[in-house]
Amino acid sequence: MAIEKASYIDTIIPATAQSCPVTNRDYFTRDLEEALRNRSPNIGQRIDSSLRTDKWDRIAGEVFNCASYDEFIELKLNNSTFFGQALLKISDAMIEILYKVEEDLIDSQGPEYKAPFANSTLRKKSGMHGWGMAIDFDVGINPYVLNEKSEEKLDKELIGAYDNIAKLMLGKNESDLRKLKSGRSAFGDGSIGDIHDILQEESDAMRKYFSLMKDDTAFQEFIETEWAVKNPDNKIPDIERIKAQMEKDYIILGGKADTGNVWRTEVNEDRPFAPNSMRGKGDPATGFLNLRKEFVEAMTDRGFAWGAIDISGEPGDIQHFDLRLQGVGARVYNLLLKYK
C-alpha cells in the first residue's frame, strides 16, 4: 500500500512540542529544505560560505598539492642568492629565473656587475609575494608612484605634482606617468627600454626640480638657459611663485619641509616618499627610479612582470617584479583574482 505523504513541517505543533514521526525520509528532507529556503532565502549561500576553504589554502592545494598554505611555506619555498645577496623563502620557479637573469647580466655587463639591493621577497598572504614569486629592489628610492589600490583621491594630488615637474623641467604638457594605466603600448614602441627611458627622464627631472628649490643661483640659470630654449615664446616665470609651488609639491609627494611640516594624509594613504611609508624614505629629491635600464630589461626579458607598467589597473610600483606573466606564476595569479 502506498504511503500517503505527510508534511513534516505541517505536523509540528509548537504549542505542545509534540514529536512527529518521519513516514518518508525523502519527503522529510524535501519539506525541510523548502521551509529553510522560504524562511531564509540566503541559507544556501551562507552554508557555502561557512564551508569554503581559505583561498590561500585552496590555491596551495590546487597548484602545489599541499594540505595548507602553511605547508606550502614550509615545503615549497627555498633560500637562494642573487649577485651574492641572500634571498630567503622564494619559489623554485623564481630561483631558476633569477639565476638566468644573473647569467645574462654577467655575460652582457661583465663579472663585476652589481645588481640593486633586494629588499623584499616573501610576505605571507600578500599577492605574489605571498607565494615567493615576487621581489622588490631598492624600495627607498623606487616607490609606488601612482595608482596604488584604493588611493584614487590621493592620486589626484600626486599627478598634479608630477605634472608641475614635467611642465617646468621638460616642457611637456603633462607627466607621462599618466600613461601607466594604458600599458606598454602608450610608451614609444612599447618596449621596456622605451618605457624605462621615459620614466628615467621624469625621475631625473624630479631630482633636478627639487634641487633647484634650494638653490636660487642655479634656478635662475636654469630659467635663462634650459627653460628659455624649451619656451622661446613664453614670458620668464615668477621664480618666487614657482619656488612656493615646488615646496608644496615636495610635501605632497611625502617629503618633509624644512619647518618639519608634512602634508596631512588620510589614514590609509601611502604617499610615495612619506617617511612613515614602507616604500619611501622621505625625500622626493632622490627621484623615483634608480634601477638601471639593462637590469630592468634583463628581468623582463626572462619573463618578470615589472610593477611600473605590468600590474593591470594598478601600475606604478617601480621597485616590484613578479612572475604573474608566465608558468606557475600565471596560474597562481589568476587564482588569486578568482578566489576573492
Q: For residue 266, what is the enclosing H or E element?
A: none
Greatest C-alpha distance within the chain: 108
pLDDT digits (tens, 9 = 90+) for 49-103: 334 479 999 999 999 999 999 999 999 999 999 999 999 999 999 999 999 999 9
pLDDT at 39: 58
Domain residue spans in the chain?
A: 8-51, 56-138+319-338, 152-267
> Which strands make up the sheet holding 134-137, listed edge to edge?
118-120, 134-137, 320-322, 305-306
Instruction: Please give the Cα distance from 6 to 179 (Å, whole number).
Output: 69
pLDDT at 294: 98
Count of all residues that appear for the chain in the document: 340
- What stretches of the chain adopt beta strand conformation (E)? 77-82, 85-91, 118-120, 134-137, 305-306, 320-322
Which residues, other chains included, contact 113 with Cβ-Cβ below 8 Å and sequence gap of 6+? 83, 105, 106
pLDDT at 267: 45
pLDDT at 340: 82
pLDDT at 118: 96
Q: What's the grid cell of residue 216?
A: 636660487
- Regions in the chain scoring below 70 on pLDDT: 1-52, 257-269, 275-281
Please give the model's pTM, rounded to 2 decimal places. 0.81
pLDDT digits (tens, 9 = 90+) for 169-183: 999 999 999 999 999
